[in-house]
Amino acid sequence: MNALSILPLLSAVCTLTLGIFVLAKNRKDITNVIFFLFSLFVSVWLGNTAFVFMSCSNEKMAIFWDRLVYFGVIFIPPTCYHFSALFSGIKKNKYLIALGYIISTFFFAISRTDLFVSQLIYYPWGCHTKAHLFHNLFVLSFAFFITLVFINLAKGLKKSTGIQKIQIKYILVAFIILGFGVFGFLPAYGINLYPFTYLAGLIAVVIITYAILRHHLMNIKVITTEIFSILVSLVLLINALLSKSLNNFILNFSLFLAISFFSVLLIRSVLKEVKTREELAALTEKLQAANEDLKKLDKAKSEFISIASHQLRTPLSIIKGFASMLEEGSYGQMNEKAKDILGKIGSSSDRLTRLINDLLDLSRMEGGRMKFEWEFIKMDELVQSVVEELAPQAEKKGVNFKWLNQTPEKMYVRADKEKLRQVVMNLIDNAIKYTPKGFVEVKLVKTPENMARLAVKDSGIGMDQEEINMIFGKFMRGKKVPRLWTEGVGLGLYVARKILEEHKGNVWAESEGEGKGSTFFVEIPVY
């Protein structure tokens, strides 16, 4: 017994053990049964190869064992094809499967005669039988069925997803490696090739076993790197063991050790890389899921706001309507105190209506349902009307309210009148609201860039840079604001920015700092 025959024998034992193992796992599953048959034929091929190597000196014996090698080899194509059809989950072609087994049975019968192989060819590493006519035909049918195997797997790969896809990738790699086994035919045609091809059989069976049994498959990259490293080391080891002189042996063995050492380093680095990638992929998946959840939550919130706002609007307009009818004396004369209170009810309902409108705008914007009715309007007229509406409020508060219209005669902008009015209203209302004493100045100019610019300046509470940066966000209010002015939710400026974006305009704020007043600007193109 020499190194050349130990290896195929060991490979045969391994292959058969794996086959039995897979079968024992699930004897009722036809895929496992066919895989067992496949591994059985591979081990027949490998095991008998060892006996051919051992009996080269006795031609009769060598031919006897080589015909047994072919018993295994001949049945590899049909079992491979059958297995690939089952595993890739595509529609099976029963006739082709049956044809594979029939053809192989025929070749098996022929392989017992000299029409298939006969005589021995001797090589430095051992011997091989010589191919004849039916051997050539067998090689053709072998190529045909192996091609079909790859077609099956490619189809399966396209169709499958998730874990099955990964499994098929494994099987594909296994069969590509098995494909190298065809070089094992070359010595039958007088070509001197060192017979390490049988390792391909063992490797393929190892990979497929792994793919069938493991559900959390390791990255195929690691497996292939490992296999090729082991393969290279093994070939170098055989080479060393077959060295003719001690010097040669030392040289070859050192080479084997060095390559094995670097192989281990390589495998480790690949493992590390794969692990990092897998961790990253898992994290990305989690993030995506979290993002989806957030989106759903946001949608639910928008819908809730929309429904609640609609429900609030109707009773609110009834309250406002009756309050003003009472104030006007439609139900009998009211005294001054009662009128004052009714006025307060009216303005509180106005503020609530504005808030509800902001909430409705928000949910419309987020649902992409905000509609704009475009028209050309005179900007100064629009501002003027807001100023007139809010002047009493400023006056009541004792704030000095100025309106400086510095626009040319005709300054038209293209806008949704109601929405732009809402923005201007919000800015001036804020300026009055956030200015305890002092002034509010509203100025409208045309800039050299042909924009209508509205500046609402006040001497109120002012803002620091941090506040300026955040107040245009959704539900964002200044730091002290919520305590001092409880009404308001921090939506007005957010909605204003969105509306201005649609108008191809801009809105921004400036302030010297807390307590130093602020100026809010709106710019919109002039037509």
What does the longest C-alpha to C-alpha distance in the chain come to? 132
Strand ranges for 157-205 from DSSP E: none
The residue within the footprint of ligand ADP, chosen from 422, 490, 503, 505 (CB under 6 A), is 490
Q: Are strands 506-511 and 451-458 parallel, antiparallel or unpaired?
A: unpaired
CB of 423 to ligand ADP, least distance (A): 10
- By C-alpha distance, which of 236, 75, 90 is closest to 150? 90
CB of 297 to ligand ADP, least distance (A): 22
Q: Given the complex with ligand ADP, which of 293 and 487 has the nearer CB atom?
A: 487
The residue within the footprint of ligand ADP, chosen from 46, 478, 522, 524 (CB under 6 A), is 478
Q: How far apart are CA 360 and CA 112, in angstroms?
A: 88
Q: Given the complex with ligand ADP, which of 255 and 470 has the nearer CB atom?
A: 470
- The verdict on 128 binding ligand ADP (CB under 6 A) reads no
CB of 461 to ligand ADP, least distance (A): 5
The residue within the footprint of ligand ADP, chosen from 205, 227, 359, 471 (CB under 6 A), is 471
The residue within the footprint of ligand ADP, chosen from 518, 522, 523, 524 (CB under 6 A), is 518
Query: How many residues in the chain?
Result: 527
Distance of CA 284 to the CA centre of its chain: 7
CB of 394 to ligand ADP, least distance (A): 13
Q: How far apart are CA 403 and CA 442, in angstroms?
A: 5
Q: Tell me the DSSP string of 125-138.
A: TEEEEEE-HHHHHH
- The verdict on 492 binding ligand ADP (CB under 6 A) reads yes
CB of 519 to ligand ADP, least distance (A): 8
Q: Given the complex with ligand ADP, which of 22 and 481 has the nearer CB atom?
A: 481
Q: Given the complex with ligand ADP, which of 127 and 509 has the nearer CB atom?
A: 509
- The verdict on 493 binding ligand ADP (CB under 6 A) reads yes
Confirm if 90 and 115 have CB atoms less than 8 A apart. Answer: no
Q: Given the complex with ligand ADP, which of 156 and 478 has the nearer CB atom?
A: 478
Q: Given the complex with ligand ADP, which of 292 and 512 has the nearer CB atom?
A: 512
Q: Given the complex with ligand ADP, which of 54 and 427 has the nearer CB atom?
A: 427
What residues between 389 and 448 interact with ligand ADP by CB under 6 A? Answer: 426, 430-431, 434
- The verdict on 477 binding ligand ADP (CB under 6 A) reads yes
What residues between 447 and 466 interact with ligand ADP by CB under 6 A? Answer: 458, 460-461, 463
CB of 357 to ligand ADP, least distance (A): 12
Q: Which residues contact 112 (CB under 8 A, 6 or more apart)?
A: 67
Q: How far apart are CA 43 and CA 41, in angstroms?
A: 5
- The verdict on 195 binding ligand ADP (CB under 6 A) reads no
Q: Given the complex with ligand ADP, which of 6 and 455 has the nearer CB atom?
A: 455
**3-state helix, strand and coil shares in percent for the chain, rounded to the nearest 5:** 70, 10, 20
CB of 498 to ligand ADP, least distance (A): 11
The residue within the footprint of ligand ADP, chosen from 76, 491, 500, 507 (CB under 6 A), is 491
Q: Report the b/e string of 355-383 with b at 16+ CB within 10 A.
A: bbbbbbbbbbbbeeebeeeeeebebbebb
- By C-alpha distance, which of 125, 124, 141, 119 is closest to 189? 119
CB of 409 to ligand ADP, least distance (A): 30
Q: Tell me the DSSP string of 304-323.
A: HHHHHHHHHHHHHHHHHHHH
Region binding ligand ADP by CB under 6 A among candidate stretches 73-81, 99-107, 188-196, 475-483: 475-483
Q: Given the complex with ligand ADP, which of 370 and 471 has the nearer CB atom?
A: 471
| Number of residues this chain uses to bind ligand ADP (CB under 6 A) | 21
Neighbours of 266 (CB within 10 A): 14
Triad 98, 101, 106: Cα angle to 5°: 125
Confirm if 318 and 345 have CB atoms less than 8 A apart. Answer: no
Q: Given the complex with ligand ADP, which of 181 and 517 has the nearer CB atom?
A: 517
Q: Which residues contact 47 (CB under 8 A, 6 or more apart)?
A: 8, 9, 12, 13
Residues near ligand ADP (CB under 6 A) are 426, 430-431, 434, 458, 460-461, 463, 471, 476-478, 481, 488-494, 518
